[in-house]
Chain A
Amino acid sequence: MSTPESAGDPAAQISLEQVRHVAELARLAMSDEELESCRGELASILRHIATIDAVDVDGVEPLAHAIDMSNRLSDDEPAESLSIDDVLANAPALEDRFIAVPKVLDPGADE
């Protein structure tokens, strides 16, 4: 993937392989048909997004947040937190008081 000069370049050329790669990054299992229809929709939306290329942004600082604010710290005082039972009640799989997940480490691998 080459770095595009502007947002407009990749829109028309977005390939099925790119869409598959993005779906992997996003951790979204999709069928081939879903990936293909997603490719067409992304291309159409990206073409519209390319209209921002016409805006002169030279020397303009990016604005991540509309209201100027900085980090705020709360007082370091203990307060009541959520009930662990209530929180665990939403977990899809439990073992005792732990959330169960598939094996993450390869048992055959060295320490």
Chain B
Amino acid sequence: MTGSLRTISDRVRDGSSSAVAELDRCLERIARDDGPIGSFQCTGADAARERAEAVDRRIAAGEDMGPLAGVPIAIKDNIVSRGEPTTCGSRMLEDFHSPYDATVITKLIEAGAVPFGKTRCDEFAMGSGTEYCAFGPVHNPWDLDRVPGGSSGGSAAAVAAELCPASLGSDTGGSIRQPASLCGVVGIKPTYGRVSRYGLVSFGPSLDQIGPFARSVEDAALVLQAIAGEDIHDSTTIDSPAEDFTTSLHEPIEGLRIGLPSEYLDAHNDDAVNAMVHAAVETYRGLGAEIVDVTLPLTDVGIATYYVIGPAEASSNLARFDGIRYGRRVEPAAGEGLFELYARSRGEGFGPEVRRRIMLGTYVLSAGYYDAYYKRALQVRRLIRREFEDVFRRCDVLLGPTTPAPAFRIGSISDPLAMYLCDRYTVNANIAGICGISIPAGCTEVDGKPLPLGLQLQAPALGESTLLRAARMYEAATNHHEARPGSNA
């Protein structure tokens, strides 16, 4: 066992371990166990060891470090770090080395953590299974024939398989919460603007947020604490007073009001998923929470709205990959010019799902269709936000499943739309900018193997403290987070 973050940082600070030893422990586990899982694109061992040595020197010099001292944290392959590769799971960026550190990397280093490696993801974070990674898929540690979810599948699988104690992912429509659910770990999508996106390779800039994966709510909260805050390099970060998510974390919320949207108990959900939600409701009732029946009718148009806004933003955003300043370039043939350089570089550099979304986004933004699609989607976006605001007057958090079903088999979903619908319960939090968390909620047995299910809680913008405390109440009452792949088979 690699232990909790506090256990690790305690032993690093008291000298019974070191940042270098903790990093080596992770690297050994990855060398031993990651082959069949494939969660790491690279381990970045040399750069990581330098960072770990620097932490050990700071401790030796008497610096008083916090609860992340010497904690190795794996990084999704769409977050840049100076001098290291960031591929975004794409041939387009196969040889790209960043000239700078993302703000989250800088903040983790300041907090004494050791960010390391790059975990595999769907290309440019577009996907729900980490099957659309140009360098190979990631396998779910609970059942290697199944997906870990996506797009941050590598970050989720690495934490589930105990290759590292925590990791960072990014969530544009569910890309942290959905793989957390499918891999049986905790994943947080913070409020939009809570965490700086500087150095996150942009997909949908009004939707993207970086957030943590860990094996407990407290560990995830500690990482969130370290990466949150206003940043001069990201003008969309929220200028709000620093808040401590961890001091009151273990105090139950008295009179907690939990909203249960009827739309979240859909008949199309896997039976085990609906049973899990009912059991969670009973758990909370037993803890003294009040269950409030609510409705969120716009849940049903979330995916439709998202697949206008997300691809529209992506198509404009990914225009930067033009084969000129960085990324893959295909030189034009004789008689061809700049247009062909752009089109061939992009046609060859991007995989099918990225091309699909660029096409969709370009279409909905093109002359004659802009109002029918993009403008209308932004109008629905306001209504979705309003719907959340209205229900949050009557409850503190919303409860439901993270996903309609447990992990699916690799290669079993070929229809793009069917894949998109996996994110039915997660996209609206991004559309409305609110925060959400997926926490382990037990397993269902499929084909003789236990597969994790995730419980999603959502709270209003900047409601992380309430969200995390409510999540911790459930975790403390159930201990589902202690289940590990292979341990309860």
CB distance from A1 to the nearest CB of B (A): 5
* B376 & A22 in contact (Cβ 8 Å cutoff): no
9 closest Cβ contacts across the A-B interface?
A: A66-B433, A29-B347, A62-B378, A92-B329, A86-B99, A90-B326, A63-B382, A57-B379, A29-B343
CB distance from B317 to the nearest CB of A (A): 12
Instruction: Return chain B residues, CB-CB under 8 Å to A72.
Output: 235
Interface: A109 (CB within 8 A) = no
* A1 & B368 in contact (Cβ 8 Å cutoff): yes
Binding site for A on B (CB under 8 A): 95-97, 99-100, 191-193, 206, 232, 235-236, 238, 298, 300-301, 303-305, 307-308, 315, 319, 322-329, 331-332, 336-344, 346-348, 350, 355-356, 358-360, 362-364, 366-369, 371-373, 375-383, 385, 415-417, 420, 430-434, 461
CB distance from B241 to the nearest CB of A (A): 16
Q: How large is the interface on A (under 10, 10 to 19, 20 to 34, 35 or more residues)?
A: 35 or more
* A66 & B381 in contact (Cβ 8 Å cutoff): yes
* B99 & A90 in contact (Cβ 8 Å cutoff): yes
**CA–CA, A34 to B343, complex, Å?**
14
Chain A residues 20 to 53 lying within 8 A of chain B, measured CB to CB, are: 22-30, 34, 38, 41-42, 44-46, 48-53
Instruction: Return chain A residues, CB-CB under 8 Å to B434.
Output: 66
**CA–CA, A91 to B323, complex, Å?**
8
- Select from chain A the residue with minimum beta-carbon distance to B363: A22
* B372 & A4 in contact (Cβ 8 Å cutoff): yes
Interface: A95 (CB within 8 A) = no
**CA–CA, A61 to B382, complex, Å?**
7
Instruction: Return chain B residues, CB-CB under 8 Å to A92.
Output: 323-324, 326-329
Instruction: Return chain A residues, CB-CB under 8 Å to B373.
Output: 7, 49
Instruction: Return chain A residues, CB-CB under 8 Å to B323.
Output: 92
Interface: A13 (CB within 8 A) = no
* A66 & B341 in contact (Cβ 8 Å cutoff): no
Instruction: Return chain B residues, CB-CB under 8 Å to A34.
Output: 355
* B343 & A28 in contact (Cβ 8 Å cutoff): yes
Partner of A41, one of B344, B356, B362: B356
**CA–CA, A101 to B337, complex, Å?**
9
Instruction: Return chain A residues, CB-CB under 8 Å to B372.
Output: 3-7, 9
Known: A10-B369, A26-B358, A90-B326. A62 touches B382 (CB 8 A): yes
* A66 & B192 in contact (Cβ 8 Å cutoff): yes
* A19 & B417 in contact (Cβ 8 Å cutoff): no
Known: A65-B206, A67-B461, A102-B332. A52 touches B325 (CB 8 A): no
